[in-house]
């Protein structure tokens, strides 16, 4: 009589029993699923490229009467306009940031320029190394658009002049700057500091 050593499972048993073939087939099934997903993505990319090509070439046969191509063409034109506007905005912001940085440096140097002007008025910068240094500094700031507001004999302009004194004079026909008490400065069209002046007004 043959003995049952458990080698053959009961055909009627519901308990699942794994086999080496089953274990090997599981990774293969997962890989095939991933491959099918990649293939689907590849098909979608291929379709998108075809639509893109048809949108970029207006006279392409496949573009004629294609709503998808027309919609995509409109999207491309809108994106192009947005990109152009973005570039303009970035360049404008960059220019503004640069201008503000230059103005900040010049404003920090205005007291130094006042000291240089005071020394020049007292004759301390007539010659010598310090005179050369002062000239180089003023020239360097001039390359950034710095200009002085120091003209006399011109009409008083409240935008660039600050009147500290006013006197009547028979020699003028309108409010005229006759003396500069403190030099003003401009950077381009921006007034950094108004000039403090004496104004002569016509006699009443």
Residue 174 lies in a domain: yes
In a shared domain, residues 118 and 78: yes
Domain boundary among 110, 144, 178: 144
pLDDT at 109: 94
pLDDT at 153: 92
In Å, how far are 16, 59, 126, 173, 193 from 73, measured between CA atoms? 57, 13, 70, 67, 53
pLDDT at 53: 52
pLDDT at 37: 46
pLDDT at 65: 53
Q: Show the low-confidence residues of the chain (pLDDT under 70).
A: 1-65
State both tokens at 57. Answer: 């070439």
pLDDT at 47: 54
What range does the domain containing 87 cover?
A: 63-144
State pLDDT tens for residues 4-19.
444 444 444 444 444 4
In a shared domain, residues 111 and 160: no
pLDDT at 13: 43
**Residue 162 sits in a domain of what CATH number?**
2.30.22.10
State both tokens at 135. Answer: 């000239």
Specify the number of domains making up the chain: 2
In a shared domain, residues 86 and 133: yes
């Amino acid at each position: 009589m043959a003995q049952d050593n458990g080698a053959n499972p009961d055909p009627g048993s519901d308990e699942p029993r794994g086999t080496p073939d089953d274990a090997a087939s599981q990774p293969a099934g997962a890989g095939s699923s991933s491959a099918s997903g990649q293939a689907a993505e590849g098909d979608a990319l291929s379709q998108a490229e075809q639509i893109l090509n048809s949108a970029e070439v207006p006279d392409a046969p496949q573009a004629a009467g294609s709503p998808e191509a027309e919609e995509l063409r409109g999207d491309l034109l809108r994106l192009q306009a947005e990109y152009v506007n973005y570039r303009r905005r970035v360049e404008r912001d960059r220019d503004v940031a640069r201008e503000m940085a230059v103005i900040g440096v010049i404003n920090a140097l205005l007291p130094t320029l006042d000291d240089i002007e005071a020394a020049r008025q007292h004759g301390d910068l007539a010659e010598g190394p310090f005179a050369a240094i002062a000239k180089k500094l003023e020239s360097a700031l001039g390359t950034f658009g710095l200009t002085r507001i120091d003209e006399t004999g011109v009409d008083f302009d409240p935008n660039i002049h600050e009147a500290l004194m006013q006197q009547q004079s028979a020699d003028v026909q309108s409010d005229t700057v006759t003396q500069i008490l403190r030099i003003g400065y401009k950077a381009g069209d921006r007034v950094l500091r108004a000039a403090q002046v004496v104004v002569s007004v016509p006699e009443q």
